[in-house]
A and B are shown apart, each in its own frame.
Chain A
Amino acid sequence: MGFQTVKFYQTGTFTVGNRLLAPDERSVQAGEMRSNSISSGHRACQGCGEALGARYAIDAAMAESNGQLIAANATGCLEVFSTPYPESSWQVPWIHSLFGNAPAVATGIAAALKVKGKHDVRVVAQGGDGGTTDIGFGCLSGMFERNDDVLYICYDNEAYMNTGVQRSSATPPAARTATTMPVGNEPGNVFGQGKNLPEIAMAHGIPYVATATVADLRDLEYKVRKAMKIRGARYIQIFVPCPLGWGTASDATILMARLAKETGTFPVFEAEYGEVTGVLKIRNKLPVEEYLKPQKRFAHLFGKHAHPEMIARLQAIADRNIRKYGLLQDQES
């Protein structure tokens, strides 16, 4: 990957900062002067991955654009918890219109800036996986297709969380939500449905597509900064565990993201013009059980009426990701 690995420092590559590193080698989040795009007092749940991921991403975009940034936001958790009328947590110019039109709003802003000749002001659009993969999908595809100068960031927590954990097209197979199989014995989401939006974005041939997680800050910041250096349509999907919707402990948010990556469940990669150009390798490969077991949404796979066959299918999906993207250390990507 493109971010710098720091050798021989206790923790240089993996922690947020390190007193032994030169300041310019530290992450944006390590800086005392980071922009704190979402400030304190927001109403996100304890241990919210999305609040964290949004600050990581927007702070990095702010750093790269010298604070010249406008954000359009789709309806969703992020919008609801950050801006209950009349308060706002945002410390960037920020606009919310509808659930499904954030890419179109951002396109409009970018067009207006172009007309006004303000080339130094950059635009991001952001939303959750519901607003991105389902409701805003048409607008987003149009934005990609026109190659509008917008970075779209999807905070993927794999369901509609703020309305009560309903299934989205990003909900993984076997995960239980409020709307999966309301009748019958199997509470989990079906296999074989849903959308892989990073790959759909790649299929549009746009300049830059990447995935990231809140567990790998340096990789995330590297990708946001790289995306901000590029003009045209760009898409980053950030994996943000949701303690409420997944039934995990509030202090396990980063751990869950780490396990998703280390099991191969969520491949972390980047692609330019439709071709994969880099992957974040797995450090210590783990079986998917390690990732599934702490989550109550997968609890029905374990215990008295366990479903080893479903676990095996989820393992097969992870193995396919590993094979397809070359996620192991000695594999070619």
Chain B
Amino acid sequence: MANKPFAITLKPGTSLNNLTGSWRTARPVYLDRLPPCNNACPAGEDIQGWLFHAESGDYEQAWRALVENNPLPAVMGRVCYHPCESACNRGQLDSSVGINSVERFLGDEAIRRGWKFAAAAAASGKKVLVVGAGPSGLSAAYHLARMGHKVEIQEAGPLAGGMMRFGIPKYRLPREVLDAEVQRILDLGVTLKLNCKVAHIEQSMQDGGFDAAFLAVGAHIGKRAMIPAGDAAHIVDAVSVLRSMEGEDKPMLGRKVVVYGGGNTAVDVARTVKRMGAEPIIVYRRTRDKAPAHDFEIEEALQEGVMIKWLSTIKQAGDSSITIEKMALDDKGFPQPTGEFETLEADSVVLALGQDVDLSLLDGLPGLEIKNGTVQVAPNMMTGHAGIFAGGDMVPSERTVTVAVGHGKKAARNIDAWLRGTAYQPAPKHELAEAGNLNTWYYSDADKTVRPMLDIIRRQTSFDEVQGGLDETTALFEARRCLSCGNCFECDNCYGVCPDNAVIKLGPGKRFEFKYDYCKGCGLCVAECPCGAIKMVPEDI
């Protein structure tokens, strides 16, 4: 008392002595939620993760983060049906982020600048045989090689790429792009043997001394349909037509070409023959909204002058005409015949009714289960025969390039674990970042960048790529439209809005930390976090 100033009884002090954290009934915690794009990606890409780098203009780092999961970004940026964009939370705000176009930009940038994959891990001494150089086989080979395994791809065809080369037309995927990305995988030390059809898998594994095999032979046999046809009728299957486009002898189909089917392959064939100067008509038994082809592809085909007969089946094929029957959808949405017929001029009929798998290499292999013409695999992608894994179109799944790439990665991880005598344990998934977790007030209005399309005349007469890419500025803009759902992007909001100064900013790249001694648990940081990377957790009281 004696040595204090007049009327002062207590020592002055800072309010830091008052630990207001004791008021709290719930505490904020930082977390990473799973962005919907990542959740939807069949190839398991960390899309939000690579966009994060692209946003700051570090395209090489973005590309490196991308190829951690998918070695074919330039291909993906052209042929992927981008389920990520359908799932994108920004779609509920204005329009989804053009993930696919940024991916293509990164892929093209990598080719242009000659970026190479990081070197493989130390050699494991194991050898893996990959059968088929399609997207699934290439993806598996890439991942296995990076894990340090010796990989040999045996491909029955004359060139690598599988359906990416022999199924997808040039106007959607220029071959120099495909070649560049395949070569980059081979540069990892992967051996590619072309024109090397595996007749018997066990034999081939034994001959080459392989420890495991990944089968990805695809589905290359066009399905046939029973169509009563005259002797002179010219009926071919879509896969053969598309395959022969890659060779010297272009298919001879005549002027009037009827394409039978409503999937993406039917549309690809119709657009291809249109470019060769013919007049294609797609005949499909159901309606446009029921067609398995993606609507934007149907739209582009119609723009290019492809005719489509909906609700029609082919009853009979003659040498220069076919008879079709009108159909009507019943209550359940199935097409039923109406008895009404029509005749169409047709120099040839192309069947695009789906594809079957050539399973001959598995003949006599014990333990296999085959159902509906596909090989059954366990969740770890292993067939019933130990050490033989399979993926891509030959296993039951959606048949897209992206799914196949995802299979390749998943199989590679499981093969790696199997070779090491362990089981692959995927990391537990974070909870999903839903639109309700976001505070969208903070995002500036910014509409999606539209990719340029080739002139209609050139689309009808040439195989030039239809869809253009983004340039650097537009790609950067598009990347920056990402909301970063569920993952902190260091906007400083939590640090700013805390009335109690209870957030510590740790500096660039290090995010933030709570000072729980002072946090009163008001929840402002959670409410004002744009991307939903904080949540309130009740305190144990």
Contact = CB atoms under 8 A, between A and B. Distances in A.
Given A9-B480, A41-B17, A87-B14, A16 B523 contact: no
A36 interface: yes
A27 B496 contact: yes
Given A10-B480, A32-B507, A15 B492 contact: yes
A46 B491 contact: no
A209 interface: no
Nearest to A28: B496
B16 interface: yes
B48 to A, nearest CB: 12
Interface residues of B, number: 55
Contacts of A55: 499, 501
A218 B20 CA distance: 28
Contact of A40 (B8, B442, B518): B518
A253 interface: yes
B501 A40 contact: yes
Contacts of B34: none
A26 B13 contact: no
Contacts of B133: none
A40 B515 contact: yes
Contact of B499 (A7, A52, A87): A52
A310 interface: no
Interface in A1-44: 6-20, 26-27, 29-30, 32, 36, 38-44
A11 B490 contact: no
A20 B56 contact: yes
A15 B530 contact: yes
Chain B CB within 10 Å, residue with most, of A13, A30, A40: A40
B526 interface: yes
A16 B495 contact: yes
Contacts of A46: 23, 520-523
Contact of B444 (A11, A30, A39, A48): A11
Contacts of B14: 39, 41, 87-89
B530 A250 contact: no
Given A10-B484, A86-B11, A254-B524, A15 B491 contact: yes
B469 to A, nearest CB: 19
Contact of A10 (B20, B441, B489, B497): B489
B528 interface: yes
B499 A14 contact: no
Q: Which of B477, B526, B527 has most A Cβ within 10 Å? A: B527
A254 B56 CA distance: 29
B410 to A, nearest CB: 32
At the interface, is chain A mostly helix, strand, loop or mixed?
loop
Contacts of A243: 522
A167 to B, nearest CB: 24
A251 B526 contact: yes
Interface SS of chain B: helix, strand, loop or mixed? loop
A265 interface: no
Interface string A222-241: 00000000000000000000
B13 A254 contact: no
A311 to B, nearest CB: 24
Nearest to B484: A10
Nearest to A29: B496
Interface in B465-503: 476-477, 480-484, 489-493, 495-502
B510 to A, nearest CB: 11
B537 interface: no
A86 B10 CA distance: 6
A41 B496 contact: no
B454 interface: no
Contact of A12 (B444, B502, B507, B508): B444
Given A8-B477, A41-B17, A17 B527 contact: no
Given A41-B16, A47-B522, A7 B444 contact: yes
Nearest to B477: A8
Nearest to A251: B523
Contact of B16 (A14, A40, A51): A40
A295 to B, nearest CB: 16
Nearest to B527: A251
B15 A42 contact: yes
Which of B18, B19, B441, B498 has most chain A Cβ within 10 Å? B441
B496 A16 contact: yes
B9 to A, nearest CB: 8
A255 B520 CA distance: 18
B333 interface: no
A30 B56 CA distance: 18
B524 A10 contact: no
Contact of B491 (A7, A11, A43, A258): A11
B115 interface: no
Contacts of B446: 8
B505 interface: yes
A19 B18 contact: no
B279 interface: no
B443 A10 contact: yes
A317 interface: no
A6 to B, nearest CB: 8
A318 to B, nearest CB: 19
A275 B530 CA distance: 36
A13 B476 CA distance: 17
A95 to B, nearest CB: 14
Nearest to B23: A46
B506 to A, nearest CB: 9
B12 interface: yes
B55 interface: yes
B15 A17 contact: no
15 contacts: A8-B480, A14-B442, A15-B530, A17-B490, A19-B489, A19-B491, A30-B496, A41-B18, A47-B522, A51-B500, A55-B499, A86-B8, A249-B523, A250-B523, A253-B524
Given A20-B55, A89-B14, 13 more contacts: A8-B476, A9-B480, A10-B55, A10-B480, A14-B443, A29-B496, A39-B14, A40-B518, A47-B524, A86-B8, A87-B13, A251-B527, A254-B527
Interface of B: 8, 10-20, 23, 55-56, 441-444, 446, 476-477, 480-484, 489-493, 495-502, 505, 507-508, 515, 517-518, 520-524, 526-528, 530
The 6 nearest A-B residue pairs measured at CB: A16-B496, A17-B492, A251-B523, A41-B15, A47-B522, A40-B518
